[in-house]
Amino acid sequence: MEKRQLGRTGLTVSALGLGCMGMSEFYGPRDEHESVATIHRALDLGVNFLDTADMYGPYTNEELVGRAIRDRRDQVVLATKFGIVRDPAKPNVRSVNGRPEYVRTSCEGSLRRLGVETIDLYYQHRVDPNTPIEDTIGAMAGLIQEGKIRFIGMSEAGPETLRRACAVYPVTVLQTEYSLWSRDPEDNILPVCRELGVGFVAYSPLGRGFLAGKIKRFEDLAPDDYRRNSPRYQGENFNRNLDLVRKIEQIAASKGCTPSQLALAWVLSRGNDIVPIPGTKRRKYLEENVAALHLKLSPADLARLEQVSPKGAVSGARYPEPMMQLLER
């Protein structure tokens, strides 16, 4: 398994990670037995970078990951997140908390649910506009000094916030959505990460599954699938984005690979400081994703992809408006 270094603080992970969110929530029916088997298969294949968060479930995804790695902790680079707060009475409502006391309480809860003594990479899931980033990062630095976490990460932080955070303590990783249909990080985020020596983790590198080419109709989504509320999956946006995927499928066919593999190979080609973390809850898709590591894209391939999926080609926002307000603060 190819390894990649994230940032300048000593974190090295497999070139492809595994997003575990969908094993517990958001993407239709779940099978815990298959999810655990998928995590085990990932580790067997050398995928050692597992991504979860306390808000997935909420809480149940950390518990599932904890059970899966109980006897394999030494094989795992474990990442989790804090900061998005969900209202039990209104599951779809989100708020953000970055206060130092909340950072500590959240970390202790995650350690308990995961069944570990140390979290390898601890992310602030979203930036709290009501708490100075210096206070939040300072609290996370305190957790490093206590041995509760090893590295600090941020998710969906804006460039200036990242600069301020790094002035307090070295941030190892920034995580943001990045794929053939979410290329905004190329404008400001990636250049600043590279300037500051911050690694980049690309979540949703398959466009929340759309780029895999398996979803042909809105009705293909389960009734409880989160994507039914995603602007990119709705109305005319769906049809326009489906046309984009068809063009990617044509290129994949000419390469003798799947659209998923082509989309992942594209993200992997964007730099050795980038690690995509495609999510799946099934072994067969995991194995398909891992095979993308062997797919090499020529300059001609990259040019074709640039032609069919240039920056801004996708239709619709990444999230519904209330969640868009939480991005790049």
127 conformational bin, left if phi > 0, alpha if psi -120 to 50, beta if neither: beta
For residue 98, give its domain range: 3-206+266-296
> Number of folded domains in the chain?
1
For the chain, the straight-line distance linking the first and the last C-alpha, in angstroms and rounded, comes to 35
Residue 239 resides in a domain: no
Residue 317 resides in a domain: no
Separation CA 13–CA 50 (nearest Å): 10
Q: How far is CA 141 from CA 20, 45, 82, 152, in A?
A: 26, 33, 14, 8
How many residues in the chain? 329
Please list the residues that pair with 201 across neighbouring strands: 175, 275
pLDDT reported for residue 87: 83
Contacts with 172 (C-beta within 8 Å, 6 or more apart), sequence order: 6, 7, 9, 11, 121, 151, 152, 153, 198, 199
Nearest to 326 by CA among 126, 85, 98, 164: 126
Residue 238 resides in a domain: no
Active-site positions read: 56
* Regions of the chain with pLDDT less than 70: none
State the average pLDDT for the chain. Answer: 95
Residue/partner pairs of 134-139 with CB below 8 Å, 24 or more apart: 134/164, 134/165, 134/167, 134/168, 135/98, 135/99, 135/100, 136/98, 136/99, 136/100, 136/103, 136/165, 137/165, 137/168, 137/169, 137/171, 138/100, 138/168, 138/169, 139/100, 139/103, 139/104
Q: 10 Å Cβ neighbour count for 252?
A: 21
Residue 11 resides in a domain: yes
Of all residues in the chain, what percent carry a pLDDT higher than 70? 100
pLDDT reported for residue 294: 96
pTM: 0.94
Any idea what the CATH number is for the domain that residue 193 is in?
3.20.20.100
Tell me the residue type at 239. Answer: N
Question: E-strand spans in 132-207?
Answer: 149-155, 173-177, 199-203
Residue 18 resides in a domain: yes
Residue 316 resides in a domain: no
**Torsion sign over Cα 12, 168, 189, 177:** positive
Separation CA 185–CA 156 (nearest Å): 10
pLDDT reported for residue 4: 98
Residue 166 resides in a domain: yes
Residue 31 resides in a domain: yes
pLDDT reported for residue 213: 85
Interior CA angle at 127 toward 188 and 9, to 5°? 70
